[in-house]
Structure 1
């Protein structure tokens, strides 16, 4: 293989990696629909909120989970009908396949009937979280 071809391939791989990284970064923390998922309260320790529940899926080795925990706890403390519950997937790996959680942190906005109204992968944007909570 010629040096020019090797440098061309290496350059193309670097550009591809940067494009994929920027694309994933732009999607991180954005609101997604909950689909037809229903969250079972028995899967989390703690009470459900009378208005909504913020369910955070995390793991012990998650670097961004403490930041999300503080954000969600702060939001829940300002609203009486809102509760923040954390589910540690380290101890409950079966839940990751049931709720299709591929990364941590992942946050669900669950209404009082148990329907997942919104889902956030990564650190949720506060304004997007407020928009998701408004109709609930």
Structure 2
């Protein structure tokens, strides 16, 4: 085995740092953005909730865990938004001990938010902490409004 020269070691280190930085920037840019999803309707019971837990117009489903540092702030945001909009409900599903729910809904990080329409069909998925504008825009899209 040929020993690595200091120049080769430095080049490898720089390459690793550049790749890691690029991946970090890419992941950070996706954080908190809504993306459209195609999935079948979700029943409240599939999330361990009582029938009737969903809103008449839309439901904000927050997946969180016990050790999630950003989840309490997201919970407050989503609760506030749901309180401001008629027919919109916010439900928080703790997946700490419910691995089957996390797997079924492909929750890889918390918080993750699903925006469901009146029939329980997922219309958007937000990985990470959403902004108020992002959530309002998704609700407006469900209701056919233009978000200002």
Q: TM-score, normalised on structure 1?
A: 0.94
Q: CA deviation at 1:117?
A: 0.8
Point out 4+ residue stretches in structure 1 off by more than 3 angstroms. Answer: none
Report what 2:29 is aligned to.
Answer: 26
Q: Whose radius of gyration is greater, 1 or 2?
A: 2
Q: CA deviation at 1:44?
A: 4.0
Q: CA deviation at 1:74?
A: 0.8
Report what 2:42 is aligned to.
Answer: 39
Report what 2:73 is aligned to.
Answer: 67
Please say if residues 36 and 115 of structure 1, whose CA atoms lie closer than 8 Å, have aligned partners that are also in contact. Answer: yes
Give per-residue Cα distances to partners, 1:34-70, cap 9 Å, x unaligned: 2124222111435111111100001111111111111
Aligned mates of 2:48, 2:92 — CA distance in 1: 7
Structure 2: gaps (5+ residues): 143-148
Give per-residue Cα distances to partners, 1:75-102, cap 9 Å, x unaligned: 0111231111000001211011111111
Match of 1:114 among 99, 117, 120: 120
Please say if residues 37 and 99 of structure 1, whose CA atoms lie closer than 8 Å, have aligned partners that are also in contact. Answer: no
Structure 1: gaps (5+ residues): none
In the alignment, is residue 92 of structure 1 matched against residue 95 of structure 2?
no
Q: Whose relative contact order is higher, 1 or 2, with alpha carbons under 8 Å and at least 6 apart? A: 1
Match of 2:56 among 50, 73, 79: 50
Q: TM-score, normalised on structure 2?
A: 0.87
Alignment RMSD, CA only?
Answer: 1.2
